[in-house]
Structure 1
Amino acid sequence: MSIASSSLSPHVDTASPIGVPGLAALVALVAGTVALGYTYGAAHGALFLIGGALGITLYHAAFGFTSAWRVFIAEGRGRGLRVQMILLALTVVLFFPFLASGTLFGNEVRGFVSPAGTGVIIGAFMFGIGMQLGGGCASGTLFTAGGGNARMLVTLFFFIVGSLLATIHFEWWTSLPSLPPTTLVSLGPVPGILLSLAIFGAIAALTVAVEKKRHGGLEKPEAAPREGFARYLRGPWPLVAGAIALAVLNFATLALAGRPWGITSAFALWGAKGAQLIGIEPAFWGYWQAPANAKALSESVFADVTSVMDFGLIAGAMLAAALAGRFAPNFRIPLRSVLAAVVGGLLLGYGARIAYGCNIGAYFSGIASGSLHGYIWAVAAFAGNVLGVKLRPWFFMERATVRRIDG
């Protein structure tokens, strides 16, 4: 029996018009960029547009952190993980020189460098389980929801709820034992880059060894249904092209926002705004008394850079889905899948907040900043994914073969 579900159409319509959803997304991106630029400044509008570009990239490249980890755990196929190492390598090379100097194009910049301790380990482990039950990570939840996956709207809602709940206990988690903020950038740009590349190379080599042992050789990418300009307009993109685009767009975010790309702090803010609407006042909670958080809570969500980029990402993914001819929401989801979305969303939200970030803020941008907490996050989240993969059959009745293109 099923009630509500949603999925992207598995078929690609090579001649599909942009349609009403695509036109609405395009108008939102153009109008939003102009309105935000006029109200909050040109950089703010540009960051909304960068969010749109991130959504297009994630959707067209089917760049799923969750699916890449699941396929490696369940099948021993490591192509997705190797592309993630390329992504991290490119971003480290772009970031480290400017993080070391503290300026980029004359503007002050900083990385995402946080304490590494109990909260990071437990939060990332929770997040890892949530990735597999919720069906996506933070970026995956946004781009698949924007692309027409109705089930991911359930995950997103409870992601927001979990984020808000974590702000109630945030001070307690930060009081637990932890190492001080530590970054490889402190070694110097060149030594830090070389050490980072050695780590990424070792991980890539491990995936090659595992894949060859289990399958006798490396997986070859499937032939694309389109070539040339049409492929980049309507997708699907090569995974490596997606990695290059994500690295460049994160660098653009660093240049304009003064810090790397993040996603989930906005979810906590949206949850707090929603709580205020129903008579709950989170402003008295310790998390919301920190100056930056208090300021965000007192202002419009459109003043918050992370929120603006998240909105842009959703619109960009919707446009990409329309261009691909895949925007086809289906509101029939098995009950177990709905339950998995609820549990997964709560774990994702709570875990991300106490771990100082998600697969983007802690893993991608954290490691790109050389932060020790990013590496610890990755190990703990991978362990959570292992457990999450084992739990998935209880909710999804999966076959042995893992479906690859998802969040």
Structure 2
Amino acid sequence: MSENSENSRPSYPGPQYLISFIILLAGGIIAYIAYIHSGWAFVVLFVLGFLIGYTLFHSNYGFATVYKHLIEDGNTQMLRGHMQKLIIATTLFSLILANQWNLFGNLPEGAVSPISIGLVLGSFIFGFGMNIGSNLGPSSMRTKKGGRTSLLFTLAGFLLGATIGAVHFSFWNESLPNRPGVSLADNTPLGYVGAWLVQIAIFAAIAFGTYIYKKRKRPPALPPMPRGTGWTEILFSTWPIWVGATVLATLNAAVLLVQGSPWKFTAPFTLWGSQIADQFGLTPSSWGYWGQQELMIELNSSVFMNDLSVLNFGVFTGTLLTMSLAGLLKFSKISLQMACITLLGGFLMGYGACISYGANVGAYFSGLASMSLHAWIWTVMAVSGVYTAAFLNNKFQFLGSAKEGEQT
């Protein structure tokens, strides 16, 4: 990235017009096929996904990144952004779920999942994997270190891990000790008002406490986000963290209104991987995941009839189009070590997310907004995984030169 002469913020290269046109055309085709298979509701989901992808690219949003900043320099700005996002999302989800507001006739249900060994172990594995292979985050897409080539290895590993996780899903979540899911609003005396007050109080306390911590420690500011050049300055002007948090929370609430369930990132990967496995002669229908966690009919239907798949297609389209307009869809050589590490990190993320009922979107973001007890357990264990990976790397430097980024 080149330096902008007006200030210290780096600037993006010029737009890749041909690639942008191809992505836009592909997105239009996907939306049309989704409409043919499933109607206007899925077109709306695709558009919402597109807006989520666009927002993710703009925002300093991540899970492992938040805690990396805490560990490395004590910066709590992103964590406060997460708390704001969760406050808004919890408020909107509470109103939608309590009043059963919906569009297209899909009655809303929160992301409430059982409490199991798979939840505890899987969330820890996810956090550990995200720290060592966190190339799905938008911040990594904007840098040489994370996006482009290494992102492909992370995605491949995530797909493989989410698929193998489906094979083992029953063992971790059915054979071993488990308990039904608990909604703090529906399954406790708190009710929606009480559960909302408890969660808002916790999020607000974390935000206030980390603000006081920041005032005392005075950590360095977050690195400046790049900017566009020429007319792309309109598309890539820096978004304050509070803007990204507000938009993401609102979009997730809109997803809940449209499809009757909030945004979940991992489930489509498990579906896609299972359908690929079926083409290779395996029998994913015998895996406990299908029939216990997801309906068997989803496995045997077109991906364009799966709402979460269409939503993710929109997310990918929005992200890739924004990247191409920023001139970032360029792939270069990476070291074998970095390829292996990002592949392993992606695998751990996918496997952990599958057996723990979701990732930092479905279990953390949507789960906490749904006031589910499992989401709190997931969050504690995933953060523990992030810190464990950071501690081990600081002690043994097992990531080594992977942090040096891509080779040119």
> Shorter-normalised TM-score: what interval?
0.7 to 0.9
Counterpart for residue 334 of structure 2:
333
Counterpart for residue 214 of structure 2:
211
Change (3 A) 1:274 1:160: same
The 8 Å contact of residues 137 and 359 in structure 1, kept in 2 or not, is answered as no
Change (3 A) 1:28 1:112: same
Deviates more, 1:134-143 or 1:26-35: 134-143
Change (3 A) 1:223 1:141: closer
Q: Deviations over 1:309-360 (max 9, x none)?
A: 1121111111111222333222x11222112112211211111011111000
Cα distance between partner residues in 2 of 1:291 and 1:88: 25
The 8 Å contact of residues 64 and 131 in structure 2, kept in 1 or not, is answered as yes
2:203 aligns with one of 189, 200, 203? 200
Cα distance between partner residues in 2 of 1:200 and 1:97: 18
Counterpart for residue 301 of structure 1:
303
One-letter code aligned to 2:168: H
One-letter code aligned to 1:355: S
TM-score by length of 2: 0.87
TM-score by length of 1: 0.87
Counterpart for residue 59 of structure 1:
57
Q: Which runs of 5+ in 2 are unaligned?
A: 4-9
SS in 1 for 2:274: helix
1:114-153 to 2 correspondences below 5 Å: 114-136=113-135, 149-153=148-152
SS in 1 for 2:318: helix
SS in 2 for 1:394: coil
Counterpart for residue 25 of structure 2:
27
Q: CA deviation at 1:74?
A: 2.3
Q: CA deviation at 1:228?
A: 12
Counterpart for residue 3 of structure 1:
none
One-letter code aligned to 1:310: N
Cα distance between partner residues in 2 of 1:129 and 1:282: 27
Q: CA deviation at 1:90?
A: 0.5
Q: Deviations over 1:211-235 (max 9, x none)?
A: 344x336847848746999655124
The 8 Å contact of residues 11 and 227 in structure 2, kept in 1 or not, is answered as no
Size of the aligned set, in residue pairs, is: 390
Counterpart for residue 167 of structure 2:
168
One-letter code aligned to 1:177: P
Q: Deviations over 1:270-309 (max 9, x none)?
A: 1111112222121122222449431111011221111111
The 8 Å contact of residues 75 and 222 in structure 2, kept in 1 or not, is answered as no
1:180-329 to 2 correspondences below 5 Å: 180-186=180-186, 187-213=190-216, 215-216=217-218, 219=221, 222=224, 225=227, 231-290=233-292, 292-329=294-331
Counterpart for residue 351 of structure 1:
352
Change (3 A) 1:295 1:310: same
Q: Deviations over 1:177-234 (max 9, x none)?
A: 2343112223233222211111101222332344344x33684784874699965512
One-letter code aligned to 1:162: G
The 8 Å contact of residues 181 and 372 in structure 1, kept in 2 or not, is answered as yes
One-letter code aligned to 2:22: A
Change (3 A) 1:352 1:328: same
Change (3 A) 1:46 1:309: same
Q: CA deviation at 1:123?
A: 0.6
Q: Deviations over 1:7-40 (max 9, x none)?
A: xx57655682351221122222233223312331
Counterpart for residue 377 of structure 1:
378
Counterpart for residue 7 of structure 2:
none
One-letter code aligned to 2:255: T
Cα distance between partner residues in 1 of 2:276 and 2:55: 30
SS in 2 for 1:260: coil
Change (3 A) 1:137 1:15: closer
Identity of aligned residues (%): 35
Change (3 A) 1:349 1:254: same
Change (3 A) 1:34 1:144: farther
Change (3 A) 1:220 1:394: closer
The 8 Å contact of residues 154 and 342 in structure 2, kept in 1 or not, is answered as yes
Q: CA deviation at 1:100?
A: 1.9
